Copies of this chain bind each other. A is one copy, B any other.
Amino acid sequence: MLCEGPGGCLVFEGAKLRVIHAEEAGFPAFYRVVWRDHAAEFSDLDAANRTLCMEAVAVVEQCVREHLKPTKINLAALGNMVAHLHWHVIARFADDSHFPGSVWAPVQRERNAAQEADIAARLPALEAAMIERLGNRSF
């Protein structure tokens, strides 16, 4: 993994997109699928690229679900701050600091350091699976 400073660490780089493990306090399994070419909005991609992009999101989601069994996956492409297409794929747990609110909503409870450490310990295997599955396709 190449770490890119505060933004996170590169997990996978393909011809069309890359996957980053984001550093977001309280959410140890927070990934971003970033489209390589400039596109501000999802519908700026053509239909084939939209499908490709969302299949990468689905692979990331599936790996997170299989390895972490989160309460819920949250997907979002907002881009209000950085208008370059990127998808957030976030594992949410019933006792995380913001659940059931969004990660952008007000905090609901204290962070659970033990749970976060447990999740973090499982990320290397999760990311190895992600790299393998993403690498088997033309992303």
Q: Kindly report which residue of chain B lies nearest to residue A54, judged by CB atoms.
A: B54
Identical chains in the assembly:
2
Q: Provided the pairs A50-B58, A80-B92 are in contact, do residues A42 and B102 lie with their beta carbons within 8 angstroms? A: no
Q: Is the interface of A mostly helix, strand, loop or mixed?
A: mixed
The segment from A18-26, A69-77, A110-118, A123-131 that touches chain B is A69-77
How many angstroms between the C-alpha atoms of A83 and B41 in the bound complex?
Answer: 26
A65 to B83, CA, bound (A): 15
Q: Given the complex of chains A and B, what is the CA–CA distance between A104 and B101 in angstroms?
A: 8
Alpha-carbon distance A130/B77, docked complex (angstroms):
21
B43, B77, B105: the one contacting A104 at CB < 8 Å is: B105
Which residues of A does B touch, CB under 8 Å?
A: 40-43, 47, 50-51, 54-55, 57-58, 61-62, 65, 71-81, 83, 92, 99-102, 104-106
